[in-house]
Structure 1
Amino acid sequence: MFYFSLAIIIAFMFVHIFTNYIKFLDRKPKDRLMSFVSGGSIAYVFLHLVPELTHYQKVAEIAQLPSWIEKLEYSTYLLTLAGIAFFYGINQLNEKSRAKNEREENISQPSTYVFALEIFGFALYNILIGYLLVDLSGDKIPDYIIYFVVFSFHFVANNRVLHLTHEDLYTNIGRWVLAVSVLIGWLLYHLTDTTDLNIAFFSAFLTGGIILNILNDELPAEKNSSYPSFIAGIVFITVLLQFIL
């Protein structure tokens, strides 16, 4: 699966680089598409990633950890909350910076500092997705395909928000950083010693980030959402997961 997983990573990189050129996303049907993607992403998170937290907690409980960590209850769940808090904090800084610049300078973009922080956050996010590809997909090609479908659409949704928010900064710098970060994560998995504890903690943190980003960026505004498409996305990924899990 080495070369197949590399092909998935390269495909992820192309998604990041070329999202700006997907003209379909500028048309009306994008609302139905994004609702479908949101439903599918939520189904994947709650039927595949969240149930794994129980396993990750057991891994953490039998690992040799510092005493202060061992005293914590549900350490992996706390990391999931940390992932939610981390990306929510970045989102809040973004919104406050945009409001400040619009109020004081009549500029709709957040500051360059906030852009750098947001790209750093999503680069970390992408590193984890690249790092966890092999472990979360196992040795089944259908698992890799579902992983690619779910996260490529997830990337498209995030990238569109980043592009609309930061415009040229994202086009000239951000998308390239995000594309390379997925590859870095995959390389780290193959070039470093990977333990069950690493997988447990990284997956828990990533799960929190995914939940926050889906709810924050992918779910369309109420007036633009398509409930039937949202339900169709949930059903589609749910059925696929039932066949392969």
Structure 2
Amino acid sequence: MFPLFAARWDRSDLTASLTLFTGLMALAFCLVHLFVGQLRFLDRNPRSRWLSFSGGVAVAYVFLHMLPELGANAGAFHRATGLDEVMAESAVYLLALFGVAAFYGTERALKRSRGQDKDQIEQARPESSVFWLHIAVSSLLMFVIGYLLNHREDTSLIGLALYFFAMILHFVTADFGTRGDHPELYDDRGRWILSAATLAGWLLGTQLSVPEIAIGGLFAFVSGAIVLVVLKEELPEERKSFFLPFAGGTLLYAALVLSEQALSA
């Protein structure tokens, strides 16, 4: 019915059209890194409803795209390693757990470096060395996400569009939180490092295709990291999040995903 949206490319033959689309997406991600500090309407207390909406979209993406794809990637591990299906699936989710642990560790380090005074924890700045550790780990995540733009399981145009929609809103939320830890350092160098990592990952993805098992592992790690970032940004009580925008983002993205699946069936 909609051949343009349903059309899929052979992943072994990276076309110029796919490269153009993913390149534009990578540039849009970089614009978020570079200019999130200019989005003044996000900087308010209580928390901006747009950030809660973005968090809802990211949560829906995790449950409707990432978790099913994690299960699908277990097949690649099974074929590549010879492990039985249960062990292969456990290996995939273990990599996702590593993603959670890596980002939880940096978030804990940031919180501890602000000091132990709970009344001042939101105003205090973390140590610059800890902030740069956080930027380094975030850059690794941006690099992998940029690479996966050209190596996704779902390569339909509408699938790419849904991925882009979820990821760019996630970046707004994540970058806004990161910048809030150290605005001066983020604006001076942090945003450029994140942008460079995103473009480098995308560029590598256009030139190099790693084995399917490696793609599955990278995707699992990214999934775990995004789960942690989403929960960190939305759940703490002191952030004064809004439920209705959060639920609205979740329901909207869920409706888009279900519509895309119905059209592709």
Distance in 1, Cα, partners of 2:88 & 2:241: 40
Superposition RMSD on alpha carbons, in Å?
2.6
Displaced runs of 4 or more, over 3 A? 27-30, 70-73, 100-103, 218-223
Distance in 2, Cα, partners of 1:11 & 1:100: 38
Q: In structure 1, give the amino acid aligned to 2:30.
A: M
Pairing partner for 2:65 from 27, 32, 48: 48
Paired residue for 1:197?
Answer: 213
Pairing partner for 1:118 from 122, 134, 138: 134
How far residue 222 of structure 1 moved from its aligned partner, in angstroms, is 6.5
- Does residue 254 of structure 2 align to residue 238 of structure 1? yes
Pairing partner for 2:50 from 8, 27, 33: 33
Q: Deviations over 1:171-196 (max 9, x none)?
A: 10100101111111111212223221
Paired residue for 2:79?
Answer: 62
Unaligned 5+ segments in structure 1 are none
Q: TM-score, normalised by structure 1?
A: 0.89
Identity of aligned residues (%): 33
Confirm or deny: 8 A CA contact 1:101 1:109 kept in the other structure: no
Q: In structure 1, give the amino acid aligned to 2:106.
A: I
Distance 1:219 1:37, change over 3 A: farther
- Does residue 72 of structure 2 align to residue 92 of structure 1? no
Question: Secondary structure in 2 aligned to 1:113?
Answer: helix
**Greater share of residues in helix:** 1
How far residue 221 of structure 1 moved from its aligned partner, in angstroms, is 3.5
Distance 1:42 1:139, change over 3 A: same
Confirm or deny: 8 A CA contact 1:80 1:208 kept in the other structure: yes
Paired residue for 1:164?
Answer: 180
- Does residue 64 of structure 2 align to residue 10 of structure 1? no
Distance in 2, Cα, partners of 1:137 & 1:58: 12
Distance in 1, Cα, partners of 2:35 & 2:260: 30
The count of aligned residue pairs is 239
Report the more deviating stretch, 20-29 or 152-161: 20-29
How far residue 27 of structure 1 moved from its aligned partner, in angstroms, is 4.6
